Amino acid sequence: MRHVELTYTLRPDAAVPAPAAPMRNPMMDVLHAVHERGSISAAARAVGLSYRHVWGLLRQWESELGHELLVWERGQAAVLSPVGQRLLMAERLAQARLGPQLASLKADLERVFSQVLDSDGMASGHELVMYASHDHALNVLQEVAAGVSTLCHPPRQRLHLDIRFSGSVDAIRALNEGRCLVAGFHTQPFAAAGSLSARTYKPLLRPGTHKIIGFARRSQGLIVKRGNPLRLANLNDVVRTRARLVNRAKGTGTRLLLEELMQQHGIVPADIHGFDHVEASHAATARAVFEGSADVGLGAEYAARAANLDFVPLTEERYLLVCLKSALETPALKTLLQILRSRAWTECINSLPGYGEDHGGQVAAMKRLLPWWD
């Protein structure tokens, strides 16, 4: 059994680019750089180390693990050994699966350090607990609200968003049980009054008690390998080609979307190869396709682009926030609404691949933003 020790780095400058992986490991960084660049010298430059140092690290790691990590001959490109490839693939998939939890942990650590170290930081701001379906735009909003984002100017009043990622249904339940002030969920614009979305969400929401807050629209579709080798254009193609699907867990908005689309096309779970193969996030879905354990997954466009995969759009959906009407006058929620209504945030959300502004910060009744409410 191999043992793992977790560490983190406290960086003084928020403008320093964040690592591609949510949690860094020197060996994985070097293996990834070799895999991407095909030489030890180029990999050394990418990670900011000398050739001699990287070569010594590789020999040390191979000795400790008891496996060859690199296949290399002078004058030829360096490639990862089969063990090195599997090791890198397994680590990146594990990080993708743990992405929501790692993002929450990172935000908590940044908040507590800001309270201690920044005289003008979060000590003078507000804190808001949110349960939400995992979404990249929420991670960006979290950084913008805290004033540490490089994508736009910091808000006048900073806000710590304590986001607990869960499925859409569980997020609204957390709101109703008093575990948070705001919940985030997504729903399809084509859903009718008798749809699965309506039957799932409607019992959880009450007019006069809840208020809907506009947040964003995002593109959802099929995440496929580069070049879309199976030529998948819709769910019928997934069934016809027996493509291996990677699914999301019950209670998530993306699982709900899949089942909604399946009903429209008369598809049942038994028709889909891999319907019970479940991953925990959009990033993990994309990673499963990238690593080859699945041929296709339903997910957000941003996750596909971030993993260097192709994307087949199927629908644009609304990502919405919901709160109790009684919470609208709290300082934290007022600050959130100001941020969402700002020009800086509008430009920020519109710059993200697969996203767009949609009634940002507008407080509305159910029937205005939920097409199936009536």
Joined together, the tokens standing for residue 284 give 């993990």
Does the reported pTM lie above 0.85? Answer: no
Q: pLDDT per residue over 209-229, tens digit each?
A: 999 999 999 999 999 999 999
35-39, 271-275, 285-289: segment of lowest average pLDDT: 35-39
72-86, 178-192, 254-268, 308-322: segment of lowest average pLDDT: 72-86
79-88, 141-150, 160-169: segment of lowest average pLDDT: 141-150
Q: What is the 3-state secondary structure (H, E, C) of the chain?
A: CCCCCCCCCCCCCCCCCCCCCCCCCHHHHHHHHHHHHCCHHHHHHHHCCCHHHHHHHHHHHHHHHCCCCEECCCCCCCEECHHHHHHHHHHHHHHHHCHHHHHHHHHHHHHHHHHHHCCCCHHHCEEEEEEECCCHHHHHHHHHHHCCCCCCCCCCCCEEEEEEECCHHHHHHHHHCCCCCEEEEEECCCCCCCCHHHHHHHHHCCECCEEEEEEEEEEEEEEECCCCCCCCCCHHHHHHHCCCEEEECCCCHHHHHHHHHHHHHCCCHHHCCCCCCEECCHHHHHHHHHHCCCCEEEEEHHHHHHCCCEEEEEEEEEEEEEEEHHHCCCHHHHHHHHHHHCHHHHHHHHCCCCEEECCCCCEECHHHHCCCCC
Comparison of pLDDT for 289 and 74, the residue scoring more: 289
347 alpha carbon, distance to own chain's centre? 20
**What local confidence, expressed as pLDDT, does residue 21 receive?**
62
**Structural domains present in the chain:** 26-97 (1.10.10.10), 98-374 (3.40.190.290)
Asked if pLDDT for residue 16 goes beyond 50, the answer is no
Segment 351-369 shows an average pLDDT of 91
**What local confidence, expressed as pLDDT, does residue 152 receive?**
75
Asked if pLDDT for residue 68 goes beyond 80, the answer is yes
**What local confidence, expressed as pLDDT, does residue 5 receive?**
75
